Amino acid sequence: MLNLPDPKRLLGEDRADGSIYSDPDLYDMEMDRIFMHNWIWVAHKSDLPEPGDFITTFVGSHPVIVSRDRKGAVHVMLNRCRHRAATVCELKHGKTASFVCPYHGWAYGLDGALRGVPHQDGYTGQLDKSKLPLVALRVEEYNGLIFATFDKEIMSLDAWLGRAKPWIDLFMKQGAGWPVKTMGEHKFTFPGNWKIQLENTTDAYHFPIVHKSFLDSVDQETQNTFDFVGGAGFVEDLGHGHSVMVMIPELVDLDEGLDAPIPERFTELATELAKDYPDEQVRKIVRAVGGSGFNLNLFPNLACSMAFFRVLRPLSVMETEIRHIAIGMDGGPDIANEVRLRLHEHFQGPMGFGTPDDAEAWDRVQRGSLAGKDISILLNRGIGHEAQREDGNLFSDVSAETGMRAAYKQWLVAMTEEVGE
């Protein structure tokens, strides 16, 4: 094709051209090269715990069904009837034995196999049901996180997550010994490009500025905990566009530091828990309730962000949907899970004390970026003192833009790689 934008010309080591947020042709390339040729997060295993459970969601712009079949295997299939393309399911989640298309009644199994076609004799032998299952994507799972991709050739999920895997394992310690489960979500859109949000999850620099009014609303001890810019944390490039931003180093491993004093805001919870659990377990639960001290940004659409999952979905070049999925302890004490819900409501979502201010900042980035032409967005913070770990990971201070540089490096790889035929 002629006239495709050249991603290489838009991205430097330490900057990007402002048009990356608003060029519709570039966006079309992204939806193909990034969202159809990388592992895209679709669900947490607790979203479909039992055989017959399903959810509907999207892989990039493509509507899909994620289902668990009778044997427990997870399938991700395009939500598109093989007859004349009607979506076969419009429920957000549910339990079923089959998906029956509402138009002419073709029926598909939980694994997508076409099982029944009304009045099949009308095809006089010219319809081979075995050749017309719902179109399946590749599915792989790591520690409860389910990903799918259209691409049959890309590396395994395990290899793709690579050095991010130990961080996923650390994040899941929020189960405090129980499995992690999702507990509902806040969903909202903002009028801006998806990469603005991708950057934000690895941007500690904005926290004390944008979240002043949130910080005003918590006690002094919590304010100190969140006073991490200039602290001992760091941002580390984990490869493949993934990065971790450690804001509160003491809260990286939730199994450690159990002797640390219980923060005042959790003393009431601890007292309640002490009626049913031994001291050591109370401490473990309370620590888990507070969440992890880091944001793990997984390219391109998921972040394991302190105490919740952040999922982004591009809707158009200048509109993005964000979901903040609450998580808790599956089988853990209700009172502890309820505290987690209240903490989530306090900061997250369209009526939280944090998210609306983030959304306002992203909105402004989008609008500001339309001013002028050929003006760069700077991505160079912390580059001067960036160093390398033994395993090769680049890292810098907590407010460095190392994580953004990591994501854009991978963005360029994806956008310039030879794809398919």
Partner 1 sequence: MSITLEDAVALITLEADMLDHGDFHDWLKLYTPDGRYVVPIDPNAEDFEKVLNYAYDDAEMREKRVVRLLSGRSISAAPPARTVRLLSRYRMMDSSETSCTLRCAQMLQELRQGRVHDYAANLNYRLEMTNDGLKIALKVVRLLISTEALTAVSYIL
Spatial separation of the C-alpha atoms in residues 109 and 240, rounded to whole Å: 35
Question: Which of the ranges 38-46, 98-106, 290-298, 356-364 carries the binding residues for partner 1, by CB under 8 A?
Answer: 356-364
Q: Which does 326 bind (CB under 5 to 8 A by kind): ligand FES, Fe ion, partner 1, none?
A: partner 1
What single string gives the DSSP state of each residue in 231-287?
SS-EEEEEETTEEEEES-GGGS-TTS-TTSPPPGGGHHHHHHHHTTS-HHHHHHHHH
Residues in the interface with partner 1 (CB under 8 A) total 36
Residues 330-359 contacting Fe ion, CB under 5 A: 358
- In whole angstroms, how close is the CB of 52 to ligand FES at the nearest point? 21
CB-wise, 63 or 191, nearer to partner 1?
Answer: 191
300 preceded by a cis bond (ω within 30 of 0): yes
Spatial separation of the C-alpha atoms in residues 49 and 264, rounded to whole Å: 35
Spatial separation of the C-alpha atoms in residues 231 and 248, rounded to whole Å: 8
Helix (H) or strand (E) holding 166: helix 165-171
CB-wise, 88 or 361, nearer to Fe ion?
Answer: 361
Show the binding pattern over residues 143-182: x = contacts partner 1 (CB under 8 A), - = does not: ----------------------------------------
With both helix axes pointing from N to C terminus, report the angle between 279-290 and 267-274 in degrees, rounded to the nearest 10: 140
CB-wise, 101 or 251, nearer to ligand FES?
Answer: 101
Q: Report the interface residues with ligand FES, using CB under 6 A.
A: 81, 83-84, 86, 101, 103-106
Q: Which of 414, 420, 421, 418 is nearest to 26 (CA)?
A: 414
Q: Which of 301, 302, 341 is nearest to 181 (CA)?
A: 341
Q: Which does 353 bind (CB under 5 to 8 A by kind): partner 1, Fe ion, ligand FES, none?
A: partner 1
Residues 212-231 contacting partner 1, CB under 8 A: 212-214, 216-217
Cα torsion through 293, 299, 301, 302, rounded to 10: -30
Question: Which of the ranges 59-67, 83-91, 102-110, 350-358 carries the binding residues for partner 1, by CB under 8 A?
Answer: 350-358
Q: Which of 2, 360, 383, 406 is nearest to 192 (CA)?
A: 360
- In whole angstroms, how close is the CB of 274 to partner 1 at the nearest point? 21
- Site for partner 1, rule CB under 8 A: 92, 183-191, 210, 212-214, 216-217, 321, 326, 334, 338, 341-342, 344-346, 349-351, 353, 355-357, 359-361, 363
